[in-house]
Structure 1
Amino acid sequence: MGNKDKYQNDSAKIDRQNIRDVKDHGKVAAIINENVNVNNFNFADFIQGFLNFFRPEDREAKVRSELLKGIKVEVVQRLEDSLQQNQLLVNQYLELPMFSQNEAVGRFERKKIISLPPETKIIDVFYRRDVAGKLLILGKPGAGKTTTLLRLAKELIEEAENNVDAPVPVIFELSNWQQDNLSIGDWLIEYLKDFYGMSDRRFNRSFLSGRKILPLLDGLDELGLVRQRLCIEKINNFIGEDIGTCLVVCCRDEEYQEGNFRLEKLNGAYCLQSPEEEEIYRYLEGLGKVDLWEVIQNNSQMWELANIPLFLNIMVTVYQGEPIYNEEQLFAAYIEECLQRMPTDVEKREKFFSSYTQEQTSYTQEQTRHWLTFLARQLEAENKTEFLIENMQPSWLENNVQKLAYRIIFGLVVGLIFGLIFGLIFGLIYGLIFGLIFGLIYGLIFRVEKIEPKQAFSFSWQKIKKNLILRLIDGLIDGLTFGLIFGLIFGLISGLIETLLFGIIGILIDDLTNLLIDGLILGLISGLILGLIYGLNTDIKLKHTPNQGIKESLKNSLSISIITTPFFLLIFYFYSLLDTGLGIKLALDEPEFSLFLGIIIGLHSGGLPSIKHFSLRLILWQNRLIPWNYAKFLKYSAQRRLTQQVGGRFRFIHDSLRKHFTGNKPVTSLSPQLDKNYSLRIIIFLIILTIFINITSCIYPITPQAKIFTPAIQTNNLVFSDIITHKWRNLERGNLIDFWGNEEEGFQPYCTYIMPIIALPGETLEIQEGKVFINNQPFTADYIADLPTQDYDEIKVEVPENYYLVLARHPDKNNQLLRGLIHKKEIIGQVLFKIW
Structure 2
Amino acid sequence: MDEQPSKPKPNVLLRQVRRKKHLTQIQLAEQLSVSLDTVRSWESGRRRHPYPEQLEKLCTFFQMTTEELGFEATEETEVVFPKDSSALRHARINRRRMIRRVRATWIDGVLKESLHKAALIALGLQELPEALENPWRLTVQETNLPPRPLPPGTSIVEVYDDADGELLILGEPGGGKTTLLLELARTLLRRADQDETELIPVVFNLSTWAVKQLPLAEWLVEELFLKYHVPRQVAQQWLQDDELIILLDGLDEVADASRAACVKAINHYKSLHPIVHIVVCCRLAEYFAVETRVELQQAVAVQPLTVEQIDQYLSSAGKPLESIRKALEEDVDLQEMARLPLMLSILTLTYLGDGKASEGFALTGSREARRQQVLDRYTQRMLGRRAESRYTEQQTTHWLGWLASQMQKQSLTEFYLERMQPDWLGGGPPRHRYNTVLLRFIYAIESIVIISLFAWVRGGKIGNTATFGVGAGLLGQLGAGSGNTIWGWMAPGIGGGVEAGGSTGIVFALIFCLQILLISASGFPTISWKAGWHGFFQGVKSALITGGIISLFCVPIFIILGGGIVHGLVYGIGAGVFGGVLIGLLSGLLAGLRYETVPRSQDLEPKRPFRVRLLDGAIVGSAAGLSFALVDVALHIVLSSVIVYGTIAGFFCFVAFGFAGGSRLIPGLLGAIKPAESVSWEWESVAQHLPETLRKGLISSLFIALCVGAVLALISGAFYGVDYGVRYGLIYGLIIGLIIGIAGVLASLLNSGWSSRLLNEHQLDRPNAGIRRSVRNAAFAGVLFAPIGGLMSAACCALAFGLVGGLQGWPILGAGFGLVFGLLIGIQFFLIHGTIAWVKHYLLRWYLWRAGMIPINYRAFLDYAASRILLRKVGGGYMFAHRILLDYFASLHGEDTERASSPKEH
CA distance in 1, matches of 2:228, 2:264: 26
Within the candidate set 384, 392, 395, 1:340 is matched to: 384
Deviations 1:232-269 (A, max 9, x none): 112112222222211111000111111122112x1111
CA distance in 2, matches of 1:334, 1:511: 78
2:892 counterpart SS class: coil
Alignment of 1:707-786 (within 5 A): none
Alignment partner, residue 257 of structure 1: 288
Q: 1:13 to 1:586 in 2, by over 3 A?
A: closer
Alignment partner, residue 66 of structure 1: 97
Q: 1:96 to 1:397 in 2, by over 3 A?
A: closer
Deviations 1:517-543 (A, max 9, x none): 654333211111112211223422322
Within the candidate set 563, 570, 588, 2:791 is matched to: 570
CA distance in 2, matches of 1:64, 1:197: 13
2:872 counterpart SS class: strand
1:549 aligns to 2:567 (yes or no)? no
CA distance in 1, matches of 2:662, 2:705: 15
1:17 aligns to 2:25 (yes or no)? no
Alignment partner, residue 317 of structure 2: 287
Alignment partner, residue 812 of structure 1: none
CA distance in 2, matches of 1:368, 1:484: 62
Q: 1:399 to 1:237 in 2, by over 3 A?
A: closer
2:35 counterpart SS class: helix
Return the offset for 1:56. Answer: 0.8
Instruction: Verify the 8 A CA contact 1:409 1:443 in the aligned structure 2.
Output: no
Instruction: Verify the 8 A CA contact 1:421 1:595 in the aligned structure 2.
Output: no
Return the offset for 1:442. Answer: 2.9
Alignment partner, residue 686 of structure 1: none
Instruction: Verify the 8 A CA contact 2:109 2:875 in the aligned structure 1.
Output: no
Alignment partner, residue 234 of structure 1: 265
Return the offset for 1:438. Answer: 5.5
Alignment of 1:432-581 (within 5 A): 440=658, 441-443=661-663, 448-461=670-683, 463-464=685-686, 468=690, 519-537=736-754, 538=756, 539-541=758-760, 542-578=763-799, 579=801
More displaced 10-residue stretch of structure 1: 83-92 or 475-484:
475-484
Return the offset for 1:472. Answer: 6.4
Within the candidate set 153, 161, 168, 1:127 is matched to: 161
Q: 1:483 to 1:632 in 2, by over 3 A?
A: farther
TM norm structure 1: 0.65
Alignment partner, residue 737 of structure 1: none
CA distance in 2, matches of 1:276, 1:29: 44
| Structure with more helix by fraction | 2
Deviations 1:486-534 (A, max 9, x none): 99xxxxxxxxxxxxxx9xxxxxxx9999977654333211111112211
Q: 1:364 to 1:291 in 2, by over 3 A?
A: closer
| Structure with more strand by fraction | 1
Alignment of 1:792-803 (within 5 A): none
Structure 1 counterpart of 2:149, one-letter code: S
CA distance in 2, matches of 1:152, 1:566: 52
Return the offset for 1:14. Answer: 8.5
Instruction: Using the aligned pairs only, state the percent identity.
Output: 28
CA distance in 1, matches of 2:186, 2:772: 31
Structure 1 counterpart of 2:272, one-letter code: E
Alignment partner, residue 115 of structure 1: 149
Deviations 1:743-771 (A, max 9, x none): xxxxxxxxxxxxxxxxxxxxxxxxxxxxx
Alignment partner, residue 613 of structure 1: 841
CA distance in 2, matches of 1:482, 1:398: 40
CA distance in 1, matches of 2:440, 2:348: 54
1:136 counterpart SS class: strand
1:259 counterpart SS class: coil
Within the candidate set 841, 864, 870, 1:642 is matched to: 870
Query: How many residues are treated as equivalent by the alignment?
Result: 601
Return the offset for 1:27. Answer: 9.3
Q: 1:180 to 1:407 in 2, by over 3 A?
A: closer
1:89 aligns to 2:121 (yes or no)? yes
Return the offset for 1:89. Answer: 3.1
Structure 2 counterpart of 1:656, one-letter code: I
Which structure has more relative contact order (CA 8 Å, sep 6+)? It is: 2
Alignment partner, residue 171 of structure 2: 139
2:846 counterpart SS class: helix
Pair member with larger Rg: 1
Return the offset for 1:340. Answer: 1.1
Alignment partner, residue 308 of structure 2: 278
Alignment partner, residue 402 of structure 2: 374
In structure 1, stretches of 5+ residues that fail to align are 1-8, 32-50, 343-356, 488-501, 503-509, 672-836
Structure 2 counterpart of 1:420, one-letter code: I
Alignment partner, residue 652 of structure 1: 880
In structure 2, stretches of 5+ residues that fail to align are 1-23, 49-81, 352-356, 365-369, 456-626, 629-645, 710-718, 720-726, 900-906
CA distance in 1, matches of 2:131, 2:303: 21
Instruction: Verify the 8 A CA contact 2:125 2:154 in the aligned structure 1.
Output: no
Structure 2 counterpart of 1:269, one-letter code: A
CA distance in 1, matches of 2:239, 2:97: 16
Alignment of 1:689-700 (within 5 A): none
Alignment partner, residue 198 of structure 2: 166
Deviations 1:200-231 (A, max 9, x none): x2321221232321110000011133321111
TM norm structure 2: 0.60
Deviations 1:75-103 (A, max 9, x none): 12211211111344365234264x99789
More displaced 10-residue stretch of structure 1: 306-315 or 475-484:
475-484
Alignment partner, residue 385 of structure 1: 413
Q: 1:119 to 1:619 in 2, by over 3 A?
A: same
Alignment partner, residue 419 of structure 1: 447
Deviations 1:33-54 (A, max 9, x none): xxxxxxxxxxxxxxxxxx9677
Structure 2 counterpart of 1:216, one-letter code: L
Pairwise CA RMSD: 4.0
1:172 counterpart SS class: strand
Q: 1:173 to 1:519 in 2, by over 3 A?
A: farther
Instruction: Verify the 8 A CA contact 2:413 2:879 in the aligned structure 1.
Output: yes
Return the offset for 1:457. Answer: 1.8
CA distance in 2, matches of 1:606, 1:460: 19
